[in-house]
Amino acid sequence: MQNNIEIEVKVTYLPNQSDIPNSQYAYAYTITITNKGDCGAQLRTRRWLIEDETGDVEEVVGEGVIGQQPYLSPGESFEYSSGAIISTETGSMKGSYGMINDKGKRFDADIPEFSLSEPYTLH
C-alpha cells in the first residue's frame, strides 16, 4: 500500500486586487491534488509558508482547504482556488497537507515550493 499524492499549482497575478502604493500584491492559485496511490486518503489539514522578497515568512495552519476536507479515492483529483497577498512584487509558497489514509495512517503530502510573481518578473 502506498500513499502517493501529486500536487499541481497554477498561479495568476491579480493586478485589479493589488494595491501597489500600499505594498499589497495579490495572487490567485489553483491547486489540483491527485491521489496516485493505491489507497484512498482524506485531506484533513493544511500548512503554508508564504515568503516575500524580504524574507518575511507567514505561516498559515488550519483545517482542510476552502472549508472542505476532500476524500480522494485512488485516481481521483480535487481542484480548488485560493489566494495570497504579499508585500513585495514576488515571493513564494510551499507547505503540506495533512492526510489520513483508509488504514487510519496519517501522512503529509508535501506541496512543492512555487513562485508568486508576474510572468515577466522571472529571470
57, 50 Cβ separation under 8 angstroms: yes
**pLDDT tens digit string along 73-97?**
999 999 999 999 999 999 999 999 9
pLDDT for residue 76 = 98
pLDDT of residue 2: 76
If one counts every other C-beta atom within 10 angstroms of the C-beta of residue 29, the result is: 16
User: What is the distance in angstroms between the CA of the first residue and the CA of the last residue of the chain?
Assistant: 41
pLDDT above 60 for 123: no
Band of pLDDT at residue 1, cut at 50, 70 and 90: low
Look up residue 80 and give its DSSP letter.
E
| Rounded distance between C-alpha atoms, residue 36 and residue 23, angstroms | 40
Q: What is the pLDDT of residues 50-75, one digit of tens each?
A: 999 999 999 999 999 999 999 999 99
Partnered with residue 5 across adjacent β-strands are 35
User: Under DSSP, is residue 34 helix (H, G, I), strand (E, B) or coil?
Assistant: strand
Domain range list for the chain: 5-113
Strand partners of residue 52: 91
- Does residue 115 sit in helix, strand or coil? strand
CATH of domain 5-113: 2.60.40.1470
Whether the per-residue pLDDT at 34 is higher than 50: the answer is yes
pLDDT band at 118 (very low <50, low <70, confident <90, very high): confident
Residue 102 phi, psi (nearest 5): -60, -20
Q: What is the pLDDT of residue 31?
A: 97
Residue whose grid cell is 491534488: 33
